[in-house]
Amino acid sequence: MILGGAMAEHAGLDFSTKSGFILFPLVVHSLDLAVSTIGVFFVKTKPGLPQYQRDYGELEDPLDILKRGYYVSLVLALLGLFYICKNFLDVPHLGYAYLNFFFCSAIGVVVSFLFVKIT
C-alpha cells in the first residue's frame, strides 16, 4: 500500500487514481480469500461409502479432487485479477498500462500452476 501510494505520488496522479494504487493490495488479498473459499466447495468426492455400495464405481484419486478445486481457484483468480487491475490501476493518459500489471500478476499465477504440475 505504501509502495503504491509512493509510486502514484511520484507519477503525479490525481487523488482518485492514487487511491486505486493504494487500495490495490488490499483488494487483491480480499480476492484471494473469496477465490479460496469458492475453490473449497469444488473439493468433494462422490457421495456414499464405497465399501457398502456395490455400484459405487471406481475410487477417485484424492490428488485429482484437490486439483479440481485448485484449477477452479486459478481461473477465478485470473478473472478477478483482470477486473481489479482494470478498475483500480487504469490510468487514463497511459492507455492500456493496467495490462502490464495484470500480466505480472498472471505470470505469478502461471508459475504457481507450473509448480503444482511439475511436483
- Give the tens place of pLDDT for each residue, 22-72: 888 899 999 999 999 999 999 988 887 777 777 777 888 888 999 999 999
Distance CA 8, CA 26 (A): 16
Q: What is the pLDDT of residue 51?
A: 76
Q: Which residues, including other chains, have CB under 8 Å from residue 51's CB and lie 6 or more apart?
A: none
Nearest Cα residue to 81 out of 19, 25, 5: 25
Torsion of CA 80, 112, 19, 99, to 10 degrees: -70
The three cell numbers of residue 73 are: 481457484
Nearest Cα residue to 101 out of 27, 14, 24, 23: 24
Please state the domain count of the chain.
1
Q: Which residues, including other chains, have CB under 8 Å from residue 80's CB and lie 6 or more apart?
A: 31, 34, 35
Q: Which domain holds residue 71?
A: 2-118
**Contact criterion met (CB below 8 Å) for 24 and 88:** yes
pLDDT at 107 over 80: yes
Mean per-residue pLDDT, 91-96: 76
Q: What is the pTM of this model?
A: 0.81
Least confident of 6-15, 32-41, 70-79: 6-15
